[in-house]
C-alpha cells in the first residue's frame, strides 16, 4: 500500500490513487474504470495507462512527425546521482531547425523504481533553464529530487549568439526564435508527454526552475505557454533582453569617451565601497549592505583626489568620477531622458576578467561583457559592427535600432493574463546589486503588471501577489553571491504555494560574502522590505519584520523611461508606473536631483 505524506496535496493523493489502481489493472487486466468511476481531478478524467520500459520508450515517442531522432536508455546510479531513464529528442520542423531536448525520468515500477507515487517518481515535472546564450541539458538535479527533469540546448551548441545575424546582414530568425521561445516550449511539452507515457499517468504538477536566461525563459513560458505549468521559479530574469543587453555597453562607452578607456578595477571597487559606507545606514542597520540602492545619492565626486572626502588610495580623476556617476545613473538621450537603468550603487562594477581570452564577466571591466557586444551586432544586424565607433551621443540611436529591429522578438514583456486564469504561481527573486541584468528592469515589469491587474490602471501589488510575487534581496548579486544574505529554499516555497495554497510571506536568507555565516534576514514581497525592530541582534531574522513601501514617488519618478522605440527623442512613458507628469514634475521643484535633468522637453 502506498502512503501519502502530509505535505502532499489532494492532487498528489489522486496520483497515488491512480498508481494503486494501475497496479490493480496490471494484476487483473479485465477490470475497467467504468465500474467505479473516477473522483474529481484537476485534469479531465482518463483511464490510467501502463508503465513502459525505458528501453522501449523511444519507440513510443517516435510517433511525433517533428522528431528527427529519439533515444532512450537507462543511466545507472553514479556517486550521488540516482539511476534514471534518459530520453534524448532531436526536434525540428525543417532542415534548419535542430533542437536537442533531454528528459530524465526517475525509474518507474517496471524498471525497478521504488519510494515514490509510481516507481521512484514523485508525480511532478521540473523543467530547468539555461544561462547566457546557452541551454542546459543537465537534468540530474530534478531527477535526484524525484522529479521528471528536462532541458534543452535551445537549438544550438555552446553559448554563442552571434549566429542570430547572418553574414549577409539579415536576421537568422530561426536561430533567434529557437533560442528565445521554440526550444523551451517543446521542452515542456515533451517533458509532460514523455512522463505520461513512461509512468502510464500524467503528472500532477508541472514546474519550471531557472535563473538569468532561465528566469527569462520562465517568464516567456508564463506569457506564451500559460496553461502548461502550475508553478514557475524565475530568478534574476534576463527579460527585456535587447534593452538591458544594449545597456550593458553603456559603461564601456562612457569610460571610452570620458576617460579614454577602462577605469582601474581598484578604483571602481573603492567607489563601490565608498557608496556602501555612505548609504549603509539608511535603513537603520549597519551591515555592509545598502537596503535600497535607489535611495542612495552618493556621488563619486567625493572620491576625487585632493577632496576632503577622498580615500587614501584609489582616488579618482574628475573624469573618472563623472564616468562612474553616469554608470550608476544609466543611459540617457540628449534630452536627459532615461533610456534604461544603470548599475546601482553598491554593485560590482568591474573585475572578473580573463585576460587570456579577452573577456570579462562584468560590465565595466578591461574588456566588454561578450553578450553586450553581440547585442550591438543584433541591433544593427551586422556581425562586423564595431561598438567602439559609438559615442555617448550615438548610443540612443543604437538603443532605438535594437528596439525597432529585434526587441519585439526577444524582450519577453507580454502580460500574464492566461497564466493567471490558469491558476499558475510565479515566484521571482532578484538581487538588489545584480551586476549583469539591472534589477530595476525586473521591478519595472512587476510594477507594470501591478497596474495591469489593479483597479483603474493603478499599481495594486496586493492583488498581484495573489499569483505573482517578487522578492528583492539587498546586497545580493546575479543569481547568487554578494554581501547580502542569500535566499534559501525558493523552489520549496513555490511548491508549497502551488500545492498547499500557502503564499510565501517571507523568504529566509542567510550568510553573505564577508558576513557571519549564521546571519539571517527575511526577504519581503515587493514593495515591502525588512525593517529592524530596534532591539536584538541584527544578524537574527527574528528581529526584523516586513513593512514599509519602497514605491515612493521619488523612486518611481526617477525610473520613468523613454517610450519604447522612441529612445532618441522620447517622449517619457508614464503608463503603468503609478505616477504621472504632474506628480513627477511637481516634485521637481522641491528635489534638486530632478532639476539637474531636462524633463520638460520630451516630445
Residue 149 makes CB contacts below 8 A (sequence gap 6+) with 103, 104, 125, 126, 127, 128, 139, 140, 141, 142, 143, 191
Contact status, residue 202 vs residue 124, Cβ threshold 8 Å: no
Q: What is the dihedral of CA 403, 407, 412, 416, to 10 degrees?
A: 60
Q: How far apart are CA 369 and CA 434, in angstroms?
A: 14
Please report, rounded to a whole number, the percentage of residues in the chain having pLDDT higher than 90: 87
Length of the chain in terms of residues written: 603
Look at residue 37 and tell me whether its pLDDT is greater than 70: no
Which residue, 366, 387, 409, sits at the end of a domain?
409
Same-domain check for residues 163 and 263: no
160: containing domain: 10-203
Same-domain check for residues 120 and 262: no
CA distances from 573 to 286, 334, 466, 602 (A): 37, 16, 27, 10
Contact status, residue 222 vs residue 426, Cβ threshold 8 Å: yes
Same-domain check for residues 158 and 304: no
Confidence of residue 64 (pLDDT cuts 50, 70, 90): confident
Strand order, beta sheet including 124-128: 67-75, 84-91, 99-106, 148-152, 124-128, 205-211, 231-235, 425-431, 468-473
pLDDT tens-digit profile of 559-570?
A: 999 999 999 999
Q: How far apart are CA 43 and CA 392, in angstroms?
A: 55
Look at residue 30 and tell me whether its pLDDT is greater than 70: no
Q: How far apart are CA 596 and CA 325, in angstroms?
A: 13
> What pLDDT score was predicted for residue 456?
87
Q: How far apart are CA 557 and CA 548, in angstroms?
A: 18
Same-domain check for residues 265 and 197: no
Look at residue 283 and tell me whether its pLDDT is greater than 90: yes
Range of 423-427, 586-590, 593-597, 598-602 with top mean pLDDT: 423-427
Per the listing, cell 551548441 goes with: 157
In a domain, residue 89? The reply is yes
Mean of pLDDT over the chain: 91
> Which three cell numbers mark 483?
554581501
Determine the 3-state secondary structure of 257 from DSSP: helix
Residue 408 makes CB contacts below 8 A (sequence gap 6+) with none
> What pLDDT score was predicted for residue 457?
87
Same-domain check for residues 261 and 372: yes
Q: How far apart are CA 373 and CA 189, in angstroms?
A: 33
Work out the average pLDDT over 243-262.
98
> What pLDDT score was predicted for residue 13?
45
Q: Which neighbouring-strand residues pair with 572?
A: 562
Contact status, residue 136 vs residue 214, Cβ threshold 8 Å: yes
Same-domain check for residues 273 and 387: yes
In a domain, residue 197? The reply is yes
Residue 144 makes CB contacts below 8 A (sequence gap 6+) with 80, 81, 82
Same-domain check for residues 103 and 199: yes
Contact status, residue 498 vs residue 230, Cβ threshold 8 Å: yes
In a domain, residue 526? The reply is no
In a domain, residue 425? The reply is no
Work out the number of other CB atoms within 10 angstroms of the CB of residue 32. Answer: 9
Residue 50, burial from CB neighbour count under 10 angstroms (0-12, 13-18, 19+): middle
Same-domain check for residues 25 and 92: yes
Work out the average pLDDT over 178-191.
98
The closest of 149, 124, 148, 123 to 136, measured between CA atoms, is 149
In a domain, residue 170? The reply is yes
In a domain, residue 117? The reply is yes
Same-domain check for residues 264 and 166: no
In a domain, residue 535? The reply is no
Work out the number of other CB atoms within 10 angstroms of the CB of residue 168. Answer: 7
Residue 37, burial from CB neighbour count under 10 angstroms (0-12, 13-18, 19+): exposed
Same-domain check for residues 19 and 134: yes
Look at residue 123 and tell me whether its pLDDT is greater than 80: yes
> Which three cell numbers mark 353?
576578467
The number of distinct structural domains making up the chain is 2
Look at residue 23 and tell me whether its pLDDT is greater than 50: no
Which residue, 366, 390, 409, sits at the end of a domain?
409
pLDDT tens-digit profile of 210-234?
A: 999 999 999 999 999 999 999 999 9
Q: How far apart are CA 473 and CA 522, in angstroms?
A: 9
Q: What is the dihedral of CA 394, 573, 525, 427, to 10 degrees?
A: -70
Same-domain check for residues 197 and 311: no
> Which three cell numbers mark 491?
523552489
CA distances from 321 to 68, 169, 254, 255, 327 (A): 57, 38, 11, 10, 10
Q: Which neighbouring-strand residues pair with 126?
A: 149, 207
In a domain, residue 385? The reply is yes
Which residue, 142, 168, 203, sits at the end of a domain?
203
Please report, rounded to a whole number, the percentage of residues in the chain having pLDDT higher than 70: 89
Residue 401, burial from CB neighbour count under 10 angstroms (0-12, 13-18, 19+): buried
Lowest mean pLDDT across 3-17, 23-37, 533-547? 23-37
Look at residue 22 and tell me whether its pLDDT is greater than 80: no
Same-domain check for residues 61 and 185: yes
Query: pTM for this one?
Result: 0.91
Amino acid at each position: 500500500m502506498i502512503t501519502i505524506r502530509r505535505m502532499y496535496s489532494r492532487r498528489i493523493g489522486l496520483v497515488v490513487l491512480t498508481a494503486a489502481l494501475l497496479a490493480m489493472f496490471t494484476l487483473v487486466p479485465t477490470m475497467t474504470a467504468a465500474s467505479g468511476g473516477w473522483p474529481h481531478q484537476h485534469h479531465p478524467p482518463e483511464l490510467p495507462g501502463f508503465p513502459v520500459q525505458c528501453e522501449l520508450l523511444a519507440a513510443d515517442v517516435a510517433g511525433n512527425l517533428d522528431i528527427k531522432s529519439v533515444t532512450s536508455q537507462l543511466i545507472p546510479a553514479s556517486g550521488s546521482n540516482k539511476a534514471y531513464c534518459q530520453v534524448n529528442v532531436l526536434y525540428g520542423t525543417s532542415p534548419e531547425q535542430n533542437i536537442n531536448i533531454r528528459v530524465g525520468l526517475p525509474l518507474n515500477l517496471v524498471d525497478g523504481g521504488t519510494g515514490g507515487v509510481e516507481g521512484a517518481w514523485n508525480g511532478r515535472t521540473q523543467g530547468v533553464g539555461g544561462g547566457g546564450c546557452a541551454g542546459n541539458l543537465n537534468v540530474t538535479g530534478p531527477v535526484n529530487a524525484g522529479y521528471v527533469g528536462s532541458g534543452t540546448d535551445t537549438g544550438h551548441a555552446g553559448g554563442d549568439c552571434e549566429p542570430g545575424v547572418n553574414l549577409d546582414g539579415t536576421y537568422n530568425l530561426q536561430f533567434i526564435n529557437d533560442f528565445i521561445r521554440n526550444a523551451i516550449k517543446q521542452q515542456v511539452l515533451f517533458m509532460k508527454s514523455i512522463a505520461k507515457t513512461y509512468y502510464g499517468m500524467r503528472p500532477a504538477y508541472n514546474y519550471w526552475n531557472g535563473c538569468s536566461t532561465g528566469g527569462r525563459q520562465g517568464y516567456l513560458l508564463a506569457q506564451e505557454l500559460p496553461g502548461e505549468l502550475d508553478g514557475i521559479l524565475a530568478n534574476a530574469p534576463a527579460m527585456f533582453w535587447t534593452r538591458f543587453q544594449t545597456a550593458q555597453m553603456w559603461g564601456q562607452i562612457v569610460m571610452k569617451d570620458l576617460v579614454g578607456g577602462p577605469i582601474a578595477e581598484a578604483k571602481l571597487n573603492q567607489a563601490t565601497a565608498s557608496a556602501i559606507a555612505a548609504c549603509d545606514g539608511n535603513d537603520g542597520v549597519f551591515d555592509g549592505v545598502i537596503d535600497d540602492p535607489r535611495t542612495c545619492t552618493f556621488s563619486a565626486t567625493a572620491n576625487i583626489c585632493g577632496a576632503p572626502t577622498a580615500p587614501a588610495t584609489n582616488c579618482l580623476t574628475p573624469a573618472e568620477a563623472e564616468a562612474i556617476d553616469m554608470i550608476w545613473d544609466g543611459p540617457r538621450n540628449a534630452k536627459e531622458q532615461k533610456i534604461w537603468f544603470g548599475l546601482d550603487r553598491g554593485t560590482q562594477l568591474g573585475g572578473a576578467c580573463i585576460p587570456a581570452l579577452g573577456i570579462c564577466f562584468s560590465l565595466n571591466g578591461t574588456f566588454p561583457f561578450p553578450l553586450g557586444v553581440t547585442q550591438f551586432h543584433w541591433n544593427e544586424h551586422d556581425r562586423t559592427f564595431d561598438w567602439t565607433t559609438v559615442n555617448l551621443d550615438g548610443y540612443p540611436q543604437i538603443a532605438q535600432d535594437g528596439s525597432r529591429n529585434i526587441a519585439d522578438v526577444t524582450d519577453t514583456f507580454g502580460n500574464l493574463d492566461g497564466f493567471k486564469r490558469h491558476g499558475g504561481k510565479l515566484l521571482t527573486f532578484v538581487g538588489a546589486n545584480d551586476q549583469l541584468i539591472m534589477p530595476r528592469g525586473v521591478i519595472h515589469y512587476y510594477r507594470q503588471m501591478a497596474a495591469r491587474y489593479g483597479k483603474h490602471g493603478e499599481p495594486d501589488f496586493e492583488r498581484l501577489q495573489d499569483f505573482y510575487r517578487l522578492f528583492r534581496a539587498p546586497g545580493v548579486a546575479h543569481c547568487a553571491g554578494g554581501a547580502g544574505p542569500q535566499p534559501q529554499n525558493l523552489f520549496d516555497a513555490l511548491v508549497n504555494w502551488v500545492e498547499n495554497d500557502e503564499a510565501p510571506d517571507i523568504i529566509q536568507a542567510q550568510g553573505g560574502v564577508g558576513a557571519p555565516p549564521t546571519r539571517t534576514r527575511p526577504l519581503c514581497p515587493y514593495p515591502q522590505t525588512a525593517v529592524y525592530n530596534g532591539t536584538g541582534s541584527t544578524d537574527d531574522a527574528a528581529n526584523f519584520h516586513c513593512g514599509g513601501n519602497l514605491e515612493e514617488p521619488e523612486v518611481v519618478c526617477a525610473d520613468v523611461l523613454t517610450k519604447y522605440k522612441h529612445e532618441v527623442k522620447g517622449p517619457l512613458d508614464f503608463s503603468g508606473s503609478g505616477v504621472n507628469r504632474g506628480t513627477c514634475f511637481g516634485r521637481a521643484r522641491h528635489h534638486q536631483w530632478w532639476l539637474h535633468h531636462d524633463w520638460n522637453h520630451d516630445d
